């Protein structure tokens, strides 16, 4: 199992100034902030043998480690850059999943993963430590998305990793919402991996024009896979027979799940995976409201999409 070297603390890496106001949110020995060598501020959460790094950019979990072993995949060429996404970890796809439903010129997976979020609060209990980050749509966003909303992401690190994506409609009109916690899991080799929990579940196969199919048996990987499963999508278990490890994913507020491995051609097309065979060490299993699973949110209403990850 390859260790993921978590970005070192700012004192070791650089004297880059952190945004003002972060110090008020530190929790001694549980949560502190540092300047990541990826190019932006991150929060480091610690709970026993577990650690997580959360970038303020995109409210994106960058890694989750147990005893130093990385459980999430992050591209070795990942960078934090304004207006761009970070390849790996847990990207927040919002307010639409994948391509915009009517305008392909708009960024895939929406726009909140491309910007810095603010720290709303941090909390520590004996069971875990959490950070809540927040952003809101602006008048400048209206050309991309003609609605108003506030978005909160709460990451909680305990014996499990929990991510909650909460949307509040702050406007006067209802809007359709699709979204995902687009989680990149680190695996020993995709050939060693199977996914169970989706047997018999219908899915849309993106590789065949979103043809509607039904899963037969465990999901195995021998080529590109890009599917939106619809219906009973919790719990899902990733079996990695290399280290003989299971990752269990339980979701809430979700009626779909996405399973994706880019394989060789798409890895080359993406250009930011770090190496031509990087696809062998990653697998996306995404907790979502995607495909037919669309959330309609009326004025003042809220919806929370949640995922809980644990070592099985």
Nearer residue to ligand TA6 within complex by CB, 151 or 258? 258
Q: Could you say whether residue 13 binds ligand TA6 (CB under 6 A)?
A: no
Nearer residue to ligand TA6 within complex by CB, 13 or 108? 108
3-state class (DSSP) for residue 269: helix
Q: Could you say whether residue 221 binds ligand TA6 (CB under 6 A)?
A: no
- Taking the C-alpha atoms of residue 220 and residue 216, their distance in angstroms, rounded to an integer, is 10
Q: Could you say whether residue 230 binds ligand TA6 (CB under 6 A)?
A: no
Q: Could you say whether residue 260 binds ligand TA6 (CB under 6 A)?
A: yes
Nearer residue to ligand TA6 within complex by CB, 87 or 168? 87
Nearer residue to ligand TA6 within complex by CB, 278 or 284? 284
> What's the sign of the alpha-carbon dihedral 74, 165, 226, 1?
positive
Scanning 158-308, the segments in alpha helix (DSSP H) are: 263-270
- Taking the C-alpha atoms of residue 37 and residue 86, their distance in angstroms, rounded to an integer, is 13
Closest distance between ligand TA6 and the C-beta of residue 262, in Å? 7
Closest distance between ligand TA6 and the C-beta of residue 218, in Å? 20
Instruction: Transcribe 35-104 into DSSP letters.
Output: EETTTEEEEEEEETTEEEEEETBTTEEEEEEETTEE-B-B-TT----TTS--SBSB-EEBSSSSS-SS-T
- Number of residues lying near ligand TA6 (CB under 6 A): 12
- Taking the C-alpha atoms of residue 238 and residue 309, their distance in angstroms, rounded to an integer, is 11
Nearer residue to ligand TA6 within complex by CB, 115 or 206? 206
**Candidate residues 13, 16, 23, 108; the one interacting with ligand TA6 per rule CB under 6 A:** 108
User: Residues 24 to 63: which contact ligand TA6 by CB under 6 A?
Assistant: none
**Candidate residues 31, 53, 72, 98; the one interacting with ligand TA6 per rule CB under 6 A:** 98
- Taking the C-alpha atoms of residue 13 and residue 268, their distance in angstroms, rounded to an integer, is 31
- Taking the C-alpha atoms of residue 150 and residue 171, their distance in angstroms, rounded to an integer, is 10
Closest distance between ligand TA6 and the C-beta of residue 98, in Å? 4
- Taking the C-alpha atoms of residue 257 and residue 285, their distance in angstroms, rounded to an integer, is 7
Nearer residue to ligand TA6 within complex by CB, 33 or 260? 260
Q: Could you say whether residue 286 binds ligand TA6 (CB under 6 A)?
A: yes
Cα angle 171, 177, 180 (rounded to 5 degrees) comes to 130
User: Residues 151 to 190: which contact ligand TA6 by CB under 6 A?
Assistant: 182
Task: Give the Å distances, CA to CA, from 288 to 155, 178, 207.
Answer: 16, 7, 19
182 is known as an active-site residue = yes
**Candidate residues 187, 258, 273, 278; the one interacting with ligand TA6 per rule CB under 6 A:** 258
Binding site for ligand TA6 (CB under 6 A): 85, 98, 108-109, 182, 206, 226, 258, 260, 270, 284, 286
| Residues tagged active-site | 182, 286
């Amino acid at each position: 199992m390859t260790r993921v070297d978590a970005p070192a603390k700012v004192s070791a890496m650089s004297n880059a100034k952190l945004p003002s106001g972060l110090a008020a949110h530190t929790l001694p020995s549980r949560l502190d902030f540092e300047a990541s060598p990826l190019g932006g501020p991150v929060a480091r959460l610690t709970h026993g043998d577990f650690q997580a790094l959360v970038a303020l950019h995109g409210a994106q979990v960058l890694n989750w480690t147990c005893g130093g072993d990385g459980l999430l995949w992050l591209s070795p060429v990942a960078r934090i850059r304004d207006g761009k996404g970070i390849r790996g970890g847990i990207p927040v796809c919002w307010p639409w999943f994948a391509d915009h439903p009517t305008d392909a010129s708009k960024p895939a997976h929406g726009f909140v993963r491309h910007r810095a979020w603010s720290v709303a609060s941090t909390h520590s209990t004996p069971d875990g430590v959490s950070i809540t980050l927040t952003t809101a749509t602006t008048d400048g966003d209206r050309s991309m998305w003609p609605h108003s909303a506030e978005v909160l992401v709460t990451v909680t690190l305990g014996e499990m990793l929990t991510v909650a994506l909460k949307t509040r409609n702050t406007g006067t009109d209802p809007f359709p919402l699709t979204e995902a916690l687009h989680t990149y899991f680190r695996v020993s080799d995709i050939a060693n991996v199977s996914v169970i929990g989706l047997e018999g579940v219908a899915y849309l196969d993106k590789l065949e024009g979103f043809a509607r199919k039904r899963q037969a048996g465990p999901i195995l990987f021998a080529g590109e896979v890009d599917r939106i499963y619809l219906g009973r999508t919790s719990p899902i278990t990733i079996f990695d027979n290399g280290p003989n490890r299971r990752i269990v994913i339980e979701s809430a507020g979700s009626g779909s799940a996405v399973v994706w491995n880019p394989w060789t051609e798409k890895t080359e097309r993406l250009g930011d995976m770090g190496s031509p065979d990087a696809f062998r060490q990653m697998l996306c299993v995404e907790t979502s409201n995607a495909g037919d699973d669309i959330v309609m949110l009326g004025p003042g209403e809220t919806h929370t999409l949640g995922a809980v990850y644990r070592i099985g």
